[in-house]
């Protein structure tokens, strides 16, 4: 069983930066691919970023060049550095763990609110 706890959300002005953290349980953290997703009110949840077990990263086009996902396996933590934030980035951001060999995110955190003001 994997537990994920996000932190670091808050209110920031457009153009500002924020770093989200996701702390994971388990000694097999390094075996998981990790992802960040977001969901705004009334909208579908959308993919933001992914980091593989080997550290390869992949981003949604909407955040490329602005966001960076990273992981610290010694701390069982994945991060999302968000720069040049826009009001459209406002959403609840959730961390997820892919412990399968099928590309399925089995475990999800509770989410942390990010609000970007104009």
What is the predicted pLDDT for the residue at 103? 81
What is the predicted pLDDT for the residue at 92? 98
Q: Is 54 helix (H, G, I), strand (E, B) or coil?
A: coil
What is the predicted pLDDT for the residue at 1? 79
Calculate ∠ Cα 87-78-92, nearest 5°.
Answer: 30
Q: Is 1 helix (H, G, I), strand (E, B) or coil?
A: coil
Over its length of 118 residues, how does the chain's per-residue pLDDT go in tens digits? 799 999 999 999 999 999 999 999 977 899 999 999 999 999 999 999 999 999 999 999 999 999 999 999 999 999 999 999 999 999 999 999 998 877 899 999 999 999 999 9
What is the predicted pLDDT for the residue at 27? 79
Cα dihedral 88→89→93→99 (10° resolution):
100
């Amino acid at each position: 069983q994997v537990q994920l706890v996000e932190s670091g959300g808050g209110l920031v002005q457009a153009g500002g930066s924020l770093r989200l953290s996701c702390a994971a349980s388990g000694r097999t953290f390094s075996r998981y691919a990790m992802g960040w997703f977001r969901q705004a009110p009334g909208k579908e949840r959308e993919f933001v970023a992914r980091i593989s077990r080997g550290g390869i990263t992949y981003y949604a086009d909407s955040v490329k060049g602005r966001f960076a996902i990273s992981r610290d396996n010694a701390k069982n933590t994945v991060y999302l550095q968000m720069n040049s934030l826009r009001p459209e980035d406002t959403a609840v951001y959730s961390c997820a763990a892919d412990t399968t060999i099928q590309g399925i995110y089995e475990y999800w955190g509770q989410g942390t609110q990010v609000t970007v003001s104009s």
